[in-house]
Each structure stands twice: as structure tokens, then as C-alpha cells.
Amino acid sequence: MRADVVRFALPDPGDVSGLRQAIDSGQIDPKTIVAVIGKTHGNGLVNDYTRGYLTLSLALLIAEKTGDTPEAVRARVPFVFSGGVEGVLSPHYSVFTAVPDETAPTGGKSLAIGVAFTPDFRPHDIGRQRQIDLTAAAVEQAMAAAKVDRADVHFVQTKGPAFTLAEIIADRDAGTPPVTDNPGKLMGYGRAGSALGVAKALGESAGLESALLNDFSQFSSVASCSAGVEVRGNEVIVIGMSSAWSGPLAIAHAAMNDALDTAGIYRALADLGLPANPQVSAADAKRLRAGFVKCEASRDGKIRGRGHTMLNDGDIDPQRHIRAAVGAIVASVVNDTALFVSGGAEHQGPDGGGMIALIAERNA
């Protein structure tokens, strides 16, 4: 197989004209689309409906071009969208394709991608062992489909459900109370449960419910987990390197130990042969196909010994603060603003920090 990644600008959450033009010109065969990941204009919280708007727009377009129903498209293609493009970040979406490649294997490894879906969840499943275990099983399924070994997994993106207050109350009244009746906090439990599921599948953690939002020494070094009302189960995308795949693309990842950890950015770039002195050149930046970052407002209220106000601000959600800050830092190094920067890094990279994963073309 051969994977490709094409990024498109997103002028508004329903504008999928870029992909339409790519399909009409023959650049992309819509039947080969296996996943889409992107950043939309909304706030990234429970009431961010821009994610669902883009999901619907893309599903309708791909259905139109393939002859499938939108429901069939959504059943096979994970659409993972994160709201919030604060600061210098640019709204965009990255389309992943996979096509058969009959060229002789080179013996090396290339970008590989696998996808899987869990069953649907209810509010009372979120942050509980069932969510962790079913997510772990889906990650293992996606790894097997992509023929990627644990050691070669560099990025696992999940999208799980968020629930409205009405749905939470309905579960509670039915005798199955969720871990919290706060919709925003339940999103955090969902991200954390997904992350521990990824960690369990990759052997990074036992993946026990007792550790969730309690033992932050347990985390996945490659997980990026989001939640939204537009999905009901966890959609899982595993990206790594495999000798069963061909093509010029590669992926690398690194930990970001805190919001200022530019060393982590440089490590990921170095693994891809992308020099940054101190910024990736405009020519080399063209090799970058996609960038993914998880970040978190540190829970102790400090960054390198100095206080921050993100957790005390009653006007702006901490996720919006941290996305803007870390997005600007990463963009300034990689010389690219079309980055998937996501807040809420519970058990995703070191506590108070996060992770970065980059996909780029190899040097010719």
C-alpha cells in the first residue's frame, strides 16, 4: 500500500471546495480516502458545532463522488475535527488516502495508516473501564490493518463522543449515572479514557480506570484524543511506519515536556531530516504534509517555576489559552500555521506538556 496526505485550507466550516477540486482534477480518488483530520473555527468545547458541520459537508461530498450514502462514508472514514484556531493557527483539514502499490518493496519503511471504530458509548461509559478497553481493542485492530508494529506507531488520533446535559441527565435518571454531570468535565474524562486505551494497546500503561485523571505518570507518548457531540463512539486512526507500505512520506514524534519545550519540536524535525536554525526554511517547510500537537495548561499553575493564569481565567477557557500559545511556538519553528493543535492533553504526553507528531516528505 501507499499512503498520501493532502492538506486543504478551510475558509469556513462548510467549504470543502478544495477537496472537490482535487477530486474533479483526478488528484484524489474519493474511494481511496481513509481518514480526515482537521481544525475548525469553533471553540472546541461541547457547543462547538463547526466540527459536525465540516463532517457533514465532507461526507456529502465523498458520497456524491463515490455513489455511497453519507452514512456509509461515515461508517468507514473517521472524520476527526478539533475546534479552536486561536492566534496564528489556520483552519484546515488533512485528507489521508491509501492505494495499492505494486512496485517492488525497497526494504525500508514508509508511512502507514489504519483505522477502526469502537461501538457507541453512552454518557456512563465515559471515563470508565469499558471505554478504555474498547479503545485499546480498536487501536490493536487499526495497527493490525496497517501492519504496523508497536515500536513503529508514531501517532494515534482518537475522536470520542461528548454529551449534552440533557443526555447526561437521561443516563442518570435511568439509573446509570456518569462520572460527572458537567458536560465540559465529561469531555476531559473522555479524552483521558481514550488516552489510557491507547497506552494500554501500546504497552505503555496497564490502562486501569483507577489511574484515570489520578496518576498522570501513566500516559501515551503518541496519543492525541479529542471529543465532540458529532460522534457517538471512538473513531481511531493509527499512523506509523511499515515495510508493508511504500511512498516518500515518513512520520516522527517527540514529547513536549512543557509549553515551552522547543527541544521536542527540534527532535521531531531532526528525525525527519528537516533542519531548523532556528526556523525551518521556506523551501523545507514545503516538505511538511501535516503537524499534530497536544498541549495542556499545567495543573500546578506554573511553567518553569513562574505562574500562569490560564486555570484562573473565568472569561477564556484554558484550552483556548494553551492552543494559542503553543500553536504560535510550534508554528514559529516549523514555519507553518496549518497545524492540528489540540488542548486537553490528559494522559497524552508528559503531564503539563504533550506531544508533537510531524509527517513530511523524505529528502529526494
Q: Which residues are catalytic?
A: 159, 226
State how far the Cα of 30 lies from the Cα of 321, in Å rounded to an integer: 36
Q: Strands 233-242, 306-307: parallel, antiparallel or unpaired by DSSP?
A: unpaired
Q: How far apart are CA 362 and CA 332, in angstroms?
A: 21
Which alpha helices (H) appear in the chain, and where do they start and end? 17-24, 50-66, 70-76, 129-146, 165-173, 183-201, 262-271, 282-285, 318-334
270 vs 265: CA distance, rounded Å: 9
Q: Which three cell numbers stand for residue 363?
A: 529528502
DSSP state string for 271-283 = HTT--BSSSB-HH
Q: Which residues contact 47 (CB under 8 A, 6 or more apart)?
A: none
3-class SS string, 301-324: CEECCEECCCCCCCCCCHHHHHHH
| CB contact burial 97-116 (16+ within 10 A = b; e otherwise) | bbeeeeeeeeeebbbbbbbb
Phi, psi for 50 (deg, rounded to 5): -65, -30
Interhelix angle 183-201/165-173, rounded to 10 degrees, is 80
Q: Distance between CA atoms of 23 and 30, rounded to whole angstroms?
A: 7
Looking at the DSSP bridge assignments, the partners of residue 157 are 224, 237
| Count of Cβ atoms closer than 10 Å to residue 9 Cβ | 12
d(CA 209, CA 187): 16
The sign of the torsion formed by the CA atoms of 343, 349, 355, 361 equals: negative
